[in-house]
Structure 1
Amino acid sequence: MGENSIEARLLSRMRRRADADRIVRGANEADGPLPLSFAQQRLWFLDRLAPGSADYLVPMALRVRGPLNVSALETALSGLVARHEVLRSAFPADDDGTPRQVITAPWPVEVTVHDLTGDAHAEERGQEVLRAEATRPFDLTTGRPLRADAVRLAEDDHYLLLTVHHIVSDGWSSGILARELRELYAAVLAEREPTLPELPVRYADFASWQRDQLTGPALERQLGYWRERLAHSTPLELPTDHPRPAHMSGAGDVVTFTVPNEVAEGLRKAAGRQGASMFMALLSLFQIVLARYCRQDDIAVGTPIAGRNRAEIEDVVGFFVNTLVMRTDLSGDPTFTELVDRVKDTALGAYDHQDLPFERLVEEVAPERDLSRNPLFQTMFVLQAPGSADGEAWALAGTDVEQVEIERGVAKFDLTLTAVESPDGLRAVLEYRTDLFERAAIERMAGHLGTLAASVAATPDAHLSELNMLTVQERQEILVDWNGVSGPYPDTATIHSLIEDRVTTDPDAIAVTHGDQQWTYTQINNRANQLAHHLRATGITPDTLIAV
């Protein structure tokens, strides 16, 4: 989210909390077991349910060109572990099965070096190492939810992979880790003390505060809003290439595409006219496509929110991100700008009630549980801030660093659209479950999103029914290629004789469909005969003109 966005302004206002509402340092194991946050607890149970799953690992892969001092890197990473207690937290269970958080002593991080220098296939094998390490599970009871790997391709050329479990980190935390690792690494090389501010609270303080805060009137206010907002919500019925299995494998793939800058600018202007943000315009766009695919007007999409609405936790590493459900009514064939107004109202209401953890919401709303579906929504939309924790953010002293994408082959939701603004427009990724979809179907959807975006940018005041999402190739196929049905036709044949012939050969075949009514050739022939007898009875003769 950009600094001038509605979301940024709203979150800035929410950070100015009363002192009585602030999180304070004080969580102490001596006072009893430290609780997990609601989000941590959900991931803990998911880890127990599917041990070894890679769904909730957060890998950060970099290409580092230049002299990489592995010893200094290990010291810097160990400094991160010492500074952020959550990076040395273990999550065992009590005798009754209740998970708790145990903060262990600082431990020295060792970087595992995979030396591929001299290997003719170093690049390919390096990518294999990254994929393998990015999906290797953690044991959450050890207190070591972070690991580091370096793949040496040449003396001054490495892949660097940092992997953490989502139970201790999130997207915002990745930016903190990048910034602080850069400072700690530089300090080690320069043999000086790092200049990092003291952390006012720890993640354990937040988890304890959250448990205490969500009680009484504060909890009821949040729950009341979401109960009303999500009442009678129905799951999306996306058309899939394969039947929905009873249990998802977690396997996934991605399709990437780009929305040109002039189209992105058109979307931004259309949103701006309504006092809305790019996030709201893109969410509207995504929901239009989902509505057309599903033939539903009630569309619920999940979206992550940083959960950093208090100044004291802005620099703390941990799992703060929350998930909000954006449910929009697309009925009535509104214009795109009218739809953006609806999405804007939905989003602002959700932001104002973001303190209720998604996990607590699921417990309250209690939808019918289906292990093949995520509760409350099946599709996710993410708009990433430009340059968030990119290669430049990770830059280590004396090196040139760029981010590397890892195709891990996993998907947490049926469908996730992720977009990031860039100087060239919008870079977008569609992540999908391969249990449900073939790649060709998702490539078509990417084309539909791009075409619809261009249609909206050109005519933002058009009604949804007037917006085009068919690509040029699809329009050619549907309007021209698939209608090339010309063939030899007997010059002497009449319509009624052809229908009578069809009655003889295939009497129960459907001849006409209108709305939800259908008539067979036999029924059409019988009705034609009835009409002919009626006309003859009224004195109609051949060559008399009759309006039909």
Structure 2
Amino acid sequence: MTTQTGAAPDGLWRGVPHRMSIGLRHQLRDDGSLPSENLTCFLFAFPGVRVDVPRLERALARAVTANPALSHHYRVDPDHGPQYREAEWRPRIDVVQPPGRGWESTRTAARRIADAELDNPFDLRDGRLLRVTAVRRPDGDGTVLVVTIDHTVCDGISYAQFLDDLSAAYRDEDTAAPDRPRASLARVAAAERRALAGAAREELCDAWRGRLPDGIPELVLARPTPWTACTAEGDQATTVLSGPEYERHVRHAAELSVSSFMLATAKLLHAMRPSVLGDELSFFSPLPGRFVPAARGVLGNFVSVLPVTVPAPRSADVAATAEAVREGVLWTLRHQGVPFDVIRDAVGNGDAGNGEFSYQRRSVFISGNPVMRLELDGFQGQMSVPTLSDAMFDISLWIADTGTELRASSVFRTSLLDRSLVETWLSALH
């Protein structure tokens, strides 16, 4: 992607929100660079559609204007910590021609580009934190878009919002830019500082100490290998419920008075139970999300990954496990007003883990994934993901309910879990 940059509007450096500050400190290198630690990348295939690239570039420019965190310059100042400076930037789209002929050649070329993107970090000092590649043949219809954003400045909620903004800008090119007042990152950071300095902080910490008397929980699956002895090599597995299977799942959730996500989580945990080396069930989840209202609608990474405890005994069936998942999720939602590191410091690490982040322990990650939709000229892109080769947790599961299907995607550590075992767990959703 070729780009153009402009001078910063005012040249002022401002503080960043809490979660982004943690990420920037973690990414800082000795030479002052801030290479991406994680990237968010999705592919959107439009078979039979020749995307108007100049029009899409204009839409990208409007979407970036609406979400300026993608064009900020970031730094970690030795005296003031992580900061950002506003700047202007107009993104350009790289157009790549696949080497072969036919639609499958186009999709294969796009998948290779997406896989390579995960090894191509941004430098957050640069202020250009979005890449878009269009893969298509010059003499044929059909386009695949590869959209990559730095994860430190864009969580999953923000990525879905950006796609909505891009779709709207492409659709409504002749209208004025959407008037969606959004707070600056500095305003979000100020709101977070006030929340973390108030009396409510200690009340929440007291509640978490009561919830987690033994510290941050650890869920060990299959093998008793310490987290520090695990390697991060990962593999992927996915399952999809559609048609009558999906309808049965939705009806079952309604009968149990739980959400589709809660029932799917319960089915997965119930299937995992024979492999859990211990009596307690828990998982980490970003579902509480942004802990101050000022962050609503602002593109950034504000997600706080919190532990959810599931009070279900080994004898619990799926229905009882679903009830316990509901209790755990709702309790966490009601006590989400402080970020994870504050909770960790309040309750302690227990006997598990070591290192800077206390999720460095054997554990499971389960997230309700927002639906990633990119719509151009009335056509909705067919979404897919690149090949993930690393796994932070024993297993990470992303559950998305589109209203017509339920998709559960996973990445798991091959040093701990066999693919056949993971596929058995996923099959419990059917």
The TM-score, its normalising length taken from structure 2, stands at: 0.83
The answer to whether the aligner puts 1:144 opposite 2:124 as a matched pair is no
Cα distance in 1 for residues equivalent to 2:304 and 2:198? 21
User: 1:66–1:275: structure 2 CA closer, same or farther, 3 Å change rule?
Assistant: closer
The answer to whether the aligner puts 1:73 opposite 2:56 as a matched pair is yes
The answer to whether the aligner puts 1:164 opposite 2:144 as a matched pair is no
Q: Is the 8 A contact 1:67 1:398 kept in 2?
A: no
1:253 maps to 235
The answer to whether the aligner puts 1:396 opposite 2:396 as a matched pair is no
User: 1:261–1:304: structure 2 CA closer, same or farther, 3 Å change rule?
Assistant: farther
Cα distance in 1 for residues equivalent to 2:98 and 2:388? 21
Provide, for residues 277-323 of structure 1, a one-character-per-residue CA deviation record: whole Å limited to 9, x for no partner: 33332333233233321242211101222635776644322223332
2:331 maps to 349
Q: In the alignment, which of 58, 82, 88 is matched to residue 71 of structure 2?
A: 88
**Corresponding residue SS for 2:43:** strand
**Corresponding residue SS for 2:149:** strand
Cα distance in 1 for residues equivalent to 2:281 and 2:293? 34
User: 1:111–1:200: structure 2 CA closer, same or farther, 3 Å change rule?
Assistant: closer
Cα distance in 2 for residues equivalent to 1:400 and 1:381? 26
Provide, for residues 451-491 of structure 1, a one-character-per-residue CA deviation record: whole Å limited to 9, x for no partner: xx6xxxxxxxxxxxxxxxxxxxxxxxxxxxxxxxxxxxxxx
The answer to whether the aligner puts 1:363 opposite 2:363 as a matched pair is no
Q: In the alignment, which of 192, 201, 223 is matched to residue 183 of structure 2?
A: 201
2:109 maps to 125
Cα distance in 2 for residues equivalent to 1:151 and 1:267? 37
User: 1:248–1:136: structure 2 CA closer, same or farther, 3 Å change rule?
Assistant: farther
Q: Is the 8 A contact 1:261 1:423 kept in 2?
A: no
The answer to whether the aligner puts 1:279 opposite 2:261 as a matched pair is yes
1:446 maps to 426
Q: Is the 8 A contact 2:73 2:87 kept in 1?
A: no
The answer to whether the aligner puts 1:235 opposite 2:218 as a matched pair is yes
Displacement of 1:389 in angstroms is 2.4
Unaligned runs of 5+ in 1: 1-27, 454-548
Displacement of 1:352 in angstroms is 0.8
Cα distance in 2 for residues equivalent to 1:175 and 1:62? 13
1:426 maps to 406
Displacement of 1:432 in angstroms is 0.4
Cα distance in 2 for residues equivalent to 1:376 and 1:361? 16
Q: Is the 8 A contact 1:85 1:203 kept in 2?
A: no
The answer to whether the aligner puts 1:321 opposite 2:321 as a matched pair is no
Provide, for residues 61-111 of structure 1, a one-character-per-residue CA deviation record: whole Å limited to 9, x for no partner: 211342323223223222222232211222211125x63222232112121
The answer to whether the aligner puts 1:407 opposite 2:392 as a matched pair is no
Cα distance in 2 for residues equivalent to 1:36 and 1:309? 15
Identical columns (%):
22
Amino acid at match of 1:404: S
Provide, for residues 495-547 of structure 1, a one-character-per-residue CA deviation record: whole Å limited to 9, x for no partner: xxxxxxxxxxxxxxxxxxxxxxxxxxxxxxxxxxxxxxxxxxxxxxxxxxxxx
User: 1:116–1:276: structure 2 CA closer, same or farther, 3 Å change rule?
Assistant: closer
The alignment covers a number of residue pairs equal to 412
Cα distance in 1 for residues equivalent to 2:360 and 2:20? 17
Provide, for residues 441-460 of structure 1, a one-character-per-residue CA deviation record: whole Å limited to 9, x for no partner: 3233334x34xx6xxxxxxx
Provide, for residues 156-183 of structure 1, a one-character-per-residue CA deviation record: whole Å limited to 9, x for no partner: 3222112111121122222221222123
Displacement of 1:143 in angstroms is 1.8
User: 1:67–1:373: structure 2 CA closer, same or farther, 3 Å change rule?
Assistant: same
Alignment of 1:8-27 (within 5 A): none
Structure that is richer in helix per residue: 1
- Say what the alpha-carbon RMSD is for the aligned residues: 3.4
Q: In the alignment, which of 246, 263, 274 is matched to residue 292 of structure 1?
A: 274
Q: Which moved more, 1:285-294 or 1:203-212?
A: 285-294
The answer to whether the aligner puts 1:108 opposite 2:93 as a matched pair is no
Alignment of 1:441-480 (within 5 A): 441-447=421-427, 449-450=428-429
Cα distance in 2 for residues equivalent to 1:198 and 1:170? 19
User: 1:271–1:119: structure 2 CA closer, same or farther, 3 Å change rule?
Assistant: closer
Q: Is the 8 A contact 1:116 1:153 kept in 2?
A: yes
**Corresponding residue SS for 1:246:** helix
Q: Which moved more, 1:316-325 or 1:162-171?
A: 316-325
User: 1:264–1:147: structure 2 CA closer, same or farther, 3 Å change rule?
Assistant: closer
The answer to whether the aligner puts 1:210 opposite 2:210 as a matched pair is no
**Corresponding residue SS for 1:153:** coil
Provide, for residues 226-272 of structure 1, a one-character-per-residue CA deviation record: whole Å limited to 9, x for no partner: 122122154222114x9557365543211122457656555555554
Cα distance in 1 for residues equivalent to 2:88 and 2:24? 22
User: 1:270–1:73: structure 2 CA closer, same or farther, 3 Å change rule?
Assistant: closer
Q: Is the 8 A contact 2:263 2:322 kept in 1?
A: yes
User: 1:49–1:284: structure 2 CA closer, same or farther, 3 Å change rule?
Assistant: farther
Q: Is the 8 A contact 2:281 2:311 kept in 1?
A: yes
Unaligned runs of 5+ in 2: 1-8
Cα distance in 2 for residues equivalent to 1:299 and 1:282? 15
Whose Rg is larger? 1
**Corresponding residue SS for 1:361:** helix
Cα distance in 1 for residues equivalent to 2:394 and 2:287? 20
Select the structure with the greater relative contact order (CA < 8 A; seq sep ≥ 6).
Answer: 2
Q: Is the 8 A contact 2:184 2:298 kept in 1?
A: yes
1:178 maps to 163
1:382 maps to 367
**Corresponding residue SS for 2:286:** strand
Displacement of 1:56 in angstroms is 2.2
Q: Is the 8 A contact 1:38 1:359 kept in 2?
A: no
Q: Is the 8 A contact 1:281 1:340 kept in 2?
A: yes
